[in-house]
Chains A and B, each alone.
Chain A
Amino acid sequence: MNDLKQSGINKFKNNLKDLRNSFLRSFIREGKPINDLSRAAVMANNFFLHVQGAKTHVNTLRPGYTLGLGLISLYLLLITVITGVLLMIFYNPSIENAYNTIKDINYVVFTGRLVRNMHKWAGEGMIISVMLHMARVFYTSSYKKGREFNWVIGIVLLILTLGINLSGYMLPWDQLSYWALVIVANIIQSPKEVTDVLGITKYFDMGGFSKELFLGGLTAGKESLTRVYLLHIMLLPLILFIFLGVHFWRIRKDGGLTKPEAFELKESDTRYISGPERKTEVFSTNKTYGLMELVKTRTPAVSRDIENNLLSWPNLILAETAVFFLTLAIVMVYSFYIDAPLRELANPLIPENPAKAPWYFLGLQELLSYSAFMGGVGLPGLALLGLALIPYLDREPQHIGIWFSGKKGRYIALESLVVGTFVLVGLLAIVIKFGWFRTWWPDVPQLLIILINPGNIWVGFMIMWSLFVIKRTDSTRMGAIALFTMFLLSYVILTYVGTELRGPNWGFYWYKSQWPVH
């Protein structure tokens, strides 16, 4: 105003007086979110919020649609990052000190055990929430119409989640860590099974080479721990965050989450939303409108669904904050009562009996007990490829944003669940009761076992069943529902068998109490 007239000292004094306000104004430029304009501005201007739209559709805000699973995964990730950095203060990645420092964290460091438990359970919780998030996206057909590649990115994020969990499992350098490391190294080596059968291992030992790169030598030792540590704290998280950024960016570019074509506001919606402050028509005569673009596809409905987009601040932000504190509370309480396991120091001479992988890989370990290559590389590779290709093989544009694509899909999912359970449990019962080829004909060539084993038969059945469903219903979406339902089912059943029903020497036991004492 009259800056020119003021003396320098006066200007300085006034600036000093105004410091609090001028700093806040520079920090939050749009001012307090007290009217609709500034509420929209805070979403658009804030770096951390701008990945979300200024307005959010009511469908997105319905807890029953998203179940908050993607958010929960993100929050669990944030919890692991913060607790992980705290753990790094004390952890020392060397085979001499790793075990001792974990023991220090558990027994000496202030709140160390709670932080370690939170890190562990938030990390493993991510596996569950990411898988459920994938199921939610699948069953609501949210992988279609431009979102195909984002589904593929999601699969990559699932693989990275599993990889980070597994590499973290190896860091305490106790018996669990060491033998998991040995088993994983040998799974990496398992293409050798195929090159051996073909007789070309001498010239092209891909399995052995990959194993050496992973372990930094031929046997699990100090070099291996350095590499696993690097993977866990640096390489995999770095890749994860890059893909996560792309994942979010694409959701935003696709116009937020999916919603059904015919959306109707329900009475119950009003419980968790607050509307705009002025109830006027969305299109009013007070504004001017111009022709923005001519498009080939159906024009956006002018007077429909616009009013169902509400301001993200406070509607979305409140919901997100609630989910965050709920997630944090569950992780805290669970970690307070349940301790992350820590066995005795790694002993390369005595494997655990049974030597089990972490629970999320026990389904694979069950398949591994049929054939190392198929169980460790072949079938998981096929499953992930199949999952990634789902959006490209099912392109039906109807029923997006509707759970199970309606009644028929619900029926198909239920039917696949029942049929799949019977077939898989039957197959496992045969294997457990009667064994497989080698029990019957000890001289059977390895190639035959690689080609025909219970794991392959099950995957073959899943594929045949889905093709049958496609043929019967004339819909690729129904086939996809059948396949995906069976995939989830087999993950759950195989994990259960591997975790609860397998005992010493990978023998079958109904209860842990039946395990022979040794």
Chain B
Amino acid sequence: MSSKNRDKTEISRRDFLGLASLWAAVLPAIAFLGGMFRMVKPNVRYEESTRFKIGTVENFPVGITKKLEDKKVFIFSTDEGLHAISSICTHLGCIVNITEWGFQCPCHGSRYNQNGKVIAGPAPRNLSWHEISQDIDGSLVIDAAKDVPPGTIFKLKA
């Protein structure tokens, strides 16, 4: 068969074997690199659980605001119920302070109103509202990994 009338898509045996062995070498190399990067991502995290108990409803009489420092969360108790707002600034992760008008971040001057909405500064997002639920033993549980839309109030069951 002359090379002139050979179909363009046709490939010689030599080229085929050459390309096949090339890719047989390249693919494992890629897989090896991928595995190396995947190895870096931890499978176990030595961190505290994002779910934690905060005690029973009696701990939160109406009108009280509690700052759980180590859990990085503010808990507000109002007439309507409870809500939990994260104290982690959405800009670069500093801890916001509570003020009369809302929250203030000390690092780059982000400000939030009382509902955690950004009112000034570089913060790209509002402060998270965490989910509150009640455990079977009656104690309240916050999950910092689960956010709820702002304004979601946990109604106390009388």
Within 8 A of B (CB), among A209-265: 209, 212-213, 216-219, 221-223
Residues of B within 8 A of A371 (CB): 122, 124
- Minimal Cβ-Cβ distance residue in A for B87: A349
Give chain A's interface residues, CB within 8 Å of chain B. 179, 182-183, 185-187, 193, 196, 209, 212-213, 216-219, 221-223, 349-355, 365, 368-373, 375, 435, 438-439, 442, 446, 449-450, 504-507
The one of A187, A218, A219, A506 that contacts B109, using a Cβ cutoff of 8 Å: A506
Q: Give the contact stretch, choosing among B7-15, B19-27, B38-46, B146-154.
A: B38-46
* Inter-subunit contact B45/A217 (CB<8 Å): yes
* Inter-subunit contact A217/B42 (CB<8 Å): yes
- Minimal Cβ-Cβ distance residue in A for B92: A186
Residues of A within 8 A of B124 (CB): 193, 196, 371-373, 446, 449-450
Q: Is B29 an interface residue (CB 8 A)?
A: no
Shortest Cβ distance from B147 into chain A, in angstroms?
12
The one of A219, A222, A351, A446 that contacts B107, using a Cβ cutoff of 8 Å: A351
The one of B46, B93, B107, B118 that contacts A506, using a Cβ cutoff of 8 Å: B107
* Inter-subunit contact A369/B106 (CB<8 Å): no
The one of B91, B94, B106, B119 that contacts A504, using a Cβ cutoff of 8 Å: B106
* Inter-subunit contact A354/B120 (CB<8 Å): no
Residues of A within 8 A of B40 (CB): 213
Residues of B within 8 A of A505 (CB): 104-106, 109
* Inter-subunit contact B94/A218 (CB<8 Å): no
The one of A183, A209, A353 that contacts B92, using a Cβ cutoff of 8 Å: A183
Residues of B within 8 A of A182 (CB): 92-94
CA–CA, A368 and B72, complex, Å:
23
Residues of B within 8 A of A218 (CB): 45, 47
Residues of B within 8 A of A185 (CB): 93
Shortest Cβ distance from A413 into chain B, in angstroms?
33
- Minimal Cβ-Cβ distance residue in B for A215: B42
Residues of B within 8 A of A504 (CB): 106
* Inter-subunit contact B108/A187 (CB<8 Å): no
Q: Is B70 an interface residue (CB 8 A)?
A: yes
* Inter-subunit contact B93/A438 (CB<8 Å): no
The one of B94, B108, B120 that contacts A439, using a Cβ cutoff of 8 Å: B120
Residues of B within 8 A of A219 (CB): 47
CA–CA, A481 and B118, complex, Å:
41
* Inter-subunit contact B125/A350 (CB<8 Å): no
CA–CA, A441 and B6, complex, Å:
69
Q: Is B100 an interface residue (CB 8 A)?
A: no
* Inter-subunit contact A223/B125 (CB<8 Å): no
* Inter-subunit contact B118/A212 (CB<8 Å): no
Shortest Cβ distance from B152 into chain A, in angstroms?
19
Residues of A within 8 A of B106 (CB): 351-355, 504-506
Residues of B within 8 A of A449 (CB): 122, 124
Q: Give the secondary structure class of B's interface.
A: loop
CA–CA, A27 and B58, complex, Å:
84
CA–CA, A155 and B107, complex, Å:
30
**A-B residue pairs in contact (CB < 8 Å), sample of 10:** A349-B70, A349-B95, A365-B108, A369-B122, A375-B122, A435-B120, A438-B120, A446-B124, A506-B109, A506-B121
Q: Is B69 an interface residue (CB 8 A)?
A: yes
* Inter-subunit contact A186/B41 (CB<8 Å): no
User: Contacts A218-B47, A349-B69, A349-B70 given: A368-B122 contact, CB under 8 Å?
Assistant: yes
Shortest Cβ distance from A219 into chain B, in angstroms?
6
Q: A368-B91, A375-B122 are in contact. List 17 more A-B contacts (CB 8 A).
A: A182-B92, A182-B94, A187-B92, A196-B125, A217-B42, A217-B46, A221-B47, A223-B45, A349-B69, A351-B106, A351-B107, A354-B107, A369-B109, A435-B120, A439-B120, A446-B124, A446-B125
Residues of A within 8 A of B104 (CB): 505
Within 8 A of A (CB), among B72-109: 72, 91-95, 104-109
CA–CA, A350 and B107, complex, Å:
11
Within 8 A of A (CB), among B51-83: 69-70, 72
* Inter-subunit contact B119/A442 (CB<8 Å): yes
Shortest Cβ distance from A293 into chain B, in angstroms?
37
Residues of A within 8 A of B41 (CB): 209, 212-213
Shortest Cβ distance from A92 into chain B, in angstroms?
18
Shortest Cβ distance from A386 into chain B, in angstroms?
23
CA–CA, A496 and B14, complex, Å:
65
CA–CA, A223 and B47, complex, Å:
10
* Inter-subunit contact A372/B91 (CB<8 Å): yes
- Minimal Cβ-Cβ distance residue in B for A442: B119
CA–CA, A97 and B47, complex, Å:
18
CA–CA, A349 and B88, complex, Å:
10
CA–CA, A321 and B122, complex, Å:
50
- Give the top 5 A-B pairs by smallest Cβ distance, nearest first: A353-B106, A506-B109, A186-B92, A369-B108, A355-B107
Shortest Cβ distance from A225 into chain B, in angstroms?
12
Residues of A within 8 A of B47 (CB): 217-219, 221
Residues of A within 8 A of B119 (CB): 438, 442
Residues of A within 8 A of B69 (CB): 349
CA–CA, A370 and B121, complex, Å:
7
Shortest Cβ distance from B87 into chain A, in angstroms?
10
Shortest Cβ distance from A456 into chain B, in angstroms?
13
* Inter-subunit contact A438/B108 (CB<8 Å): no
Residues of A within 8 A of B125 (CB): 196, 446
Residues of B within 8 A of A375 (CB): 122
- Minimal Cβ-Cβ distance residue in A for B123: A372
Contact code string B116-155 (vs A, CB < 8 Å = 1, else 0): 0011111011000000000000000000000000000000
User: Contacts A196-B125, A438-B120 given: A222-B108 contact, CB under 8 Å?
Assistant: no
CA–CA, A331 and B58, complex, Å:
62
CA–CA, A412 and B57, complex, Å:
71
* Inter-subunit contact A506/B95 (CB<8 Å): no
* Inter-subunit contact A369/B121 (CB<8 Å): yes
CA–CA, A371 and B92, complex, Å:
10
The one of B94, B105, B120, B122 that contacts A179, using a Cβ cutoff of 8 Å: B94
